[in-house]
Amino acid sequence: QTTLQLNAPFQDPALEPPQEIEVTDPTHPLFGQRFTVLSMATTPASAGNIIVSYHNSMRLRIPRTSTSLMGTRQTTGVKLTLAAVTELVTLANEHFPCLLHPKSFGSGCRRRASKPSSTNSRPSSRR
């Protein structure tokens, strides 16, 4: 028995690639940039990539996991607050004053020798 289908779509609109994507992975070098989608991979070997137009003259392959197609992502990066950075700088100043202020450290650090050291070492007694 034959089934008649009228107005069947040639391509499923849900499978068409989006017109534009954004790189949403903060660790990706192109983070925050938007690109026109040229194609989405159809082979199993490259299924995780999207081909985009870059400056209208180049094509880039971007991992799907780095784009807005993956939806909301959990970020693994850590941002330091101003208070944390201030505390870190204060701690460094307390524990490493010679490195930060070499002229104000006092008599505890070595002074320069009055004569330069010899350039030749004495021969070793071990052979």
3-state secondary structure of 85: helix
CA–CA separation, 63 and 108 (whole Å): 56
Give domain limits for the chain: 13-70
Percentage, residues of the chain above pLDDT 90: 26
**Predicted TM-score of the model (pTM):** 0.45
pLDDT digits (tens, 9 = 90+) for 34-56: 999 998 876 676 678 999 999 98
Quick one: 53 exposed, middle or buried, by C-beta within 10 A (0-12, 13-18, 19+)? middle
What distance in Å separates the CA atoms of residue 87 and residue 119, rounded to the nearest whole number?
44
Residues 69-79 pLDDT 10s: 887 656 556 67
CA distance 108 to 76: 44
User: Reduced to 3 DSSP states, what percent helix, strand and coil does the chain have, rounded to the nearest 5?
Assistant: 25, 20, 55
Q: Yes or no: say if 25 and 31 are a contact pair by the CB < 8 Å rule.
A: yes
Instruction: Tell whether domain 13-70 is in CATH 3.30.1330.
Output: no
